[in-house]
Structure formats: structure tokens, C-alpha cells
Amino acid sequence: MAVSNFNKDKITRRKPSLDMSQMVFGKIPPQAKELEEAILGAMMLEKGAFDTVAEILKPECFYMDSNQKIFRAMQGLAIKSLPIDMLTVVEELKLREELEIVGGPYYVSQLTNAVVSSANIEAHCRIVVQKFIQRELIRISGEIIGDAYEDSTDVFDLLDSAEGKLFEITNNHLRKNFDDIDSVLVKTFNRIEDMRNRDDEITGVPTGFPTLDKITYGWQPTDLIILAARPSVGKTAFALNLARTAALNAAKPTAVAFFSLEMSSSQLVQRILSAESEIMLEKISRGKLEEHEMKQLYKKGFDRLSKAPIFIDDSAALNIF
């Protein structure tokens, strides 16, 4: 009996489980209030600062609602081709009836006191964007958690929605910076020098079609090639031949990813086997092969293709995310 009571006491004294909602949502959202104020102050002091900031930040990137309103007022001044300084910003806020909401002229004037130099304004903007992205990820995660608990939510719709929201953050706030022409010239010159030292006229990935190679010099990096034609004229067969040629190129095998929304991976592989082994697709599909054809299929088809860097995704629910 004593042992039993002792065990009960241990259970009652056990540390309660942690409340994850308090750990995550009880925190102050990521923010950089001082940097926001420094950025706004710099734009009122430095003539060209607004152009730098406008390329990186949007009003919603600011955590403080008052700072968002001030930045929108600056955008309004820029649209009107008016100078951006403390006086014009105050007047613009008056016109918008938002001056007292942001803290009055005193708050606007205090922003300039937070500025030591505008030399690092771009770095400050990047930090503010980073904090905004963190807040957006927290918000989206909360929405996903809430939707996931709903029994009426379709799981595939939820996945699409989550992917779409994350893609929107990436697309809107993680844009590539400009490259100065000097660095691009160096890369371009090095590539030209590399091609000059080659004996082969094909500078990219061979297509397997000499006439096409004369036009394209092979598939080039970053090129987008669209293959379009009427239904049932051989687009898939042609694309598979291009993929097979690239992957089985003896001099430079190139990995190929093939996405199919219609045919299964098995159907695609049958087509590749037919082209590689030179056996009619109809025979392979029906399994009506003679003994010598089976050997030919294995030797020319399976043996070579099994080592080829070809990857196939036949998921029917593929999307751009």
C-alpha cells in the first residue's frame, strides 16, 4: 500500500507538459524597431536614400503601424515628384489625416535623430526584410496549423495553399540582386575563352540531331526551350529522344529530369527502351518478343539505360510550386 501511494505521489508531482502554444505564440514577433526608425530618418535626410529603400522594402515590411504609414506618405511624395524631408512628410501625413495617429510632428522629427549615417541603409533594409519574412512564416504556420485541425479541410488543398503562400513570400521578397556589368563581363569572357579552346563546335548539351545542333550549338545553360505541336504528332517521343541522348552522351552524360502529367513512368520507359533497343514499341507493350529480341532488349536497352542519369516524376498533381 505504501509503495502504491508513493507511486501516486510521483505521478502528481510530475512536471506538467509544456504548452507549445505559449512557447511559440507568447513571444514578441521578430522586429527591428530601431532600424526601421533609422531607415525612415535617413530617407528624410539623404536625397537618394528613398530610391535605395524603395527597391527593397514595401510598407508591410515595417513592424510598427506608424512606420508603415510614414513610409506610405513618402511613397506618395515620390509619386508626386516632391522632395522627401521632415516638413514634406508631416504635410503629407496631415493631408492623409494620419499625422496624430503616427505620433504627431514630434515622432517624425525624432526619426532623424536615430540616424548616424545612411551609408549602411541597404544592409539595414535587408535586416528589416528578414524580420518581416520571419513574421510572415509565423503567420502562415499558424494558419496552416489552424486549417490542419479542421476536419472539413481537404489535405491536398491545404498543401497547395501552404506551398502557394510560401512561394508568394519567396517571389515577393527574395528577389535576386542586380549584377554589375564588370562581374558579368568577367564570367562571359571566361566562358568565351573556354569555348575557344574546345575542338567541338557544340558548346552545350548535344541534342542528337545534327541539324538542330547547328542552330542551337546544343542545349545552353538557362535557356528555356518550348516544344509545341498538335496532339499526337510525336512531341513526347521527340522529348524522350532528347532526354535519352543527353543522358547517354559518352563524352558528357547530363542528368535529365522528366516530368509527366499524362503518361506513367512505365509507359515512358517502354518508349525509351524501344528507341534504344530498336525494337517496335508495340511488341514491347504487348510482351510479344522472340528470344533474340529479349536478349537485344536487355543488352541494348536495359543494360545501358540502367546506368543513365534519367529521373522521372509522373505525379498527376504536379504544380509550379
Same domain, 154 and 268: no
For 315, what's the count of Cα atoms within 13 Å in the CB-facing half-sphere? 7
For 228, the 3-state DSSP assignment is: coil
| CA dist., res. 217 & res. 212, Å (int) | 8
Same domain, 165 and 49: yes
Residue tagged active-site, from 262, 290, 291, 293: 262
Domain count, the chain: 2
Report yes or no on 18 lying in a domain: no
For residue 312, report the phi and psi dihedrals to the nearest 5 degrees.
-120, 135
pTM for the full predicted model: 0.55
Place of cell 518581416: 132
Same domain, 157 and 204: no
Same domain, 308 and 207: yes
165-205 pLDDT, tens digit per residue, is: 888 887 776 655 667 787 788 888 888 888 788 777 788 88
- Domain boundary (155, 173, 191) is at 173
Same domain, 158 and 270: no
For 205, the 3-state DSSP assignment is: strand
| CA dist., res. 256 & res. 311, Å (int) | 6
CATH number of domain containing 209: 3.40.50.300
Report the helix count and the strand count for the chain, using DSSP H and E. 17, 2
Residues with Cβ within 8 Å of residue 166, at least 6 apart in sequence: 140, 321
3-state helix, strand, coil in the chain (%, to 5): 60, 5, 35
For 257, the 3-state DSSP assignment is: strand
Same domain, 91 and 219: no
| CA dist., res. 56 & res. 125, Å (int) | 7
| CA dist., res. 85 & res. 111, Å (int) | 11
For 28, what's the count of Cα atoms within 13 Å in the CB-facing half-sphere? 5
| Mean pLDDT across the chain | 83
Q: If the chain, 321 residues long, is cut into consecutive pieces of 10 residues, what is the mean pLDDT of each piece?
A: 44 40 63 92 89 89 94 92 92 93 92 78 91 91 88 86 84 66 80 80 85 88 88 88 88 88 88 88 85 86 86 76 51
120-134 pLDDT, tens digit per residue, is: 888 999 999 999 999
Tell me, what's the pLDDT at 35? Answer: 92
Query: Exposed, middle or buried by CB within 10 Å (0-12, 13-18, 19+), for 282?
Result: exposed
- Residue 283 lies in domain: 200-313
Task: Give one word for 103, left, alpha or beta, with left for phi > 0 and alpha for psi -120 to 50.
Answer: left
272-287 pLDDT, tens digit per residue, is: 888 888 888 888 888 8
Same domain, 301 and 204: yes
CATH number of domain containing 101: 1.10.860.10
Same domain, 90 and 210: no
CA 56 remoteness from chain centre: 17
Catalytic-residue membership of 262: yes
Same domain, 168 and 232: no
